[in-house]
Amino acid sequence: MTLLPLTFFTGLVVYLIISGRGPVARAGRLACLVVVLACLVVWVYGFFTYGEGEGALAPVVDEFYATAYLREVLGPLWAGGVMLLLALGPLVFAAREFRRR
């Protein structure tokens, strides 16, 4: 579970490092955005199922300082909504990369 923040930030950093116009750079940027979106989806699911028993991903939320802080300040449902809104950013960038020729 502690690899999720590392994977998220690695995806962001690699996305920012990859430059160029070739199809390999484009595919790399799309792959990085998919990784970032997958991490955000796991966190959103963890927030929305926080405290529901066996199926909950509470450790995913509690082990990362930033998500634990969001949960404490906003509560699980509002924090999940904020993370869901944050997921729109990479989704828009992925759509832009996909449409780019």
* Number of Cβ within a 10 Å radius of residue 25: 13
For residue 78, what are the contacts with CB-CB under 8 A and spacing of at least 6?
A: none
- pTM of the complete model: 0.80
Q: What is the pLDDT of residues 23-70, one digit of tens each?
A: 778 888 888 889 999 988 888 888 888 877 655 677 788 888 888 898
Is the pLDDT at 1 greater than 60? The verdict is no
Cα angle 8, 18, 13 (rounded to 5 degrees) comes to 25
CB 11 within 8 A of CB 39: yes
Q: What is the pLDDT of residues 60-78, one digit of tens each?
A: 888 888 888 988 999 888 9
pLDDT, average across residues 81-93: 89
* Total domains present in the chain: 1
Range of the domain at 35: 3-99
